[in-house]
C-alpha cells in the first residue's frame, strides 16, 4: 500500500495564530485537540507534514534558531500526545519577494510531491486562510478549511468557498480517517 499523507498549515491550524507573529516557543500554544488530531491521523496510517509561511524570518521578528526551537516544542508536544510530524516545509520569504514557495503559490506542496514521488490528487491540505486553499488548488491537492485561526475571517470574506469546512483540526482529522 502506498503511504498516505496529510498536509497541514501551522499557525491557526495546529497552534493559535497571532497578527503579531509567533516569535518565541512560549508564544507557540497548541489549539485544543490539534495535537490529538495529529496522533489520530498517524494512528490511521497517515504521515503528517507541515507546510508553513514564516515571513517573520525575512521581517527579522525571529531567526532560524528560534524557529527551530518553536518547531522542537511542536514536535515534542505532538510526541507527548502520541503523534508525529514527519517534516516541515518553510517559506522564509516576505510577501514582496516573488518566490514560488510562499502560499498561495504551490511551491512547498509541489516540493513535497517531488521529494516523496507523490501525486497530490489524493492528499488533503488543511489550512485556515484563503492562501492555503489557493495553494492546495494550484498544486492539485484537496483543500480543507478549518474555522480556527483566521478561518472565520476567511469564510466571512469568501462566502463562496465550496470546499470542506470544519470547526478545527480534530474534526477535519475525524473526517479524513472516516474516508479511509
Name the residues annotated as catalytic: 9, 11
CATH number of 4-179: 3.40.50.1000
CB 144 within 8 A of CB 27: no
CB 42 within 8 A of CB 83: yes
pLDDT digits (tens, 9 = 90+) for 95-150: 999 999 999 999 999 999 999 999 999 999 999 999 999 999 999 999 999 999 99
pLDDT of residue 179: 87
pLDDT digits (tens, 9 = 90+) for 21-76: 999 999 999 999 999 999 999 999 999 999 999 999 999 999 999 999 999 999 99
Write down the pTM of the prediction. 0.96
Let me know how long the chain is. 180
pLDDT digits (tens, 9 = 90+) for 151-177: 999 999 999 999 999 999 999 999 999
Amino acid at each position: 500500500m502506498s503511504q498516505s499523507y496529510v498536509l497541514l498549515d501551522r499557525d491557526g491550524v495546529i497552534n493559535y495564530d497571532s497578527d503579531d507573529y509567533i516569535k518565541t516557543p512560549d508564544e507557540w500554544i497548541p489549539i485544543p485537540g490539534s495535537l490529538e488530531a495529529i496522533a489520530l491521523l498517524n494512528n490511521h496510517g497517515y504521515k503528517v507534514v507541515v507546510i508553513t509561511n514564516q515571513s517573520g524570518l525575512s521581517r527579522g521578528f525571529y531567526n532560524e534558531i528560534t524557529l527551530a526551537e518553536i518547531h522542537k516544542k511542536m514536535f515534542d508536544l505532538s510526541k507527548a500526545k502520541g503523534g508525529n510530524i514527519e517534516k516541515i516545509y518553510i517559506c522564509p520569504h516576505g510577501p514582496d519577494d516573488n518566490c514560488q514557495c510562499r502560499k498561495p503559490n504551490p511551491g512547498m506542496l509541489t516540493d513535497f510531491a517531488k521529494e516523496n514521488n507523490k501525486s497530490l490528487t489524493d492528499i488533503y491540505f488543511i489550512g485556515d486562510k484563503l492562501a492555503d486553499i489557493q495553494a492546495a488548488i494550484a498544486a492539485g491537492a484537496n483543500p480543507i478549511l478549518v474555522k480556527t485561526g483566521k478561518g472565520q475571517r476567511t469564510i466571512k470574506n469568501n462566502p463562496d468557498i465550496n470546499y470542506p469546512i470544519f470547526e478545527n483540526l480534530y474534526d477535519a482529522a475525524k473526517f479524513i480517517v472516516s474516508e479511509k
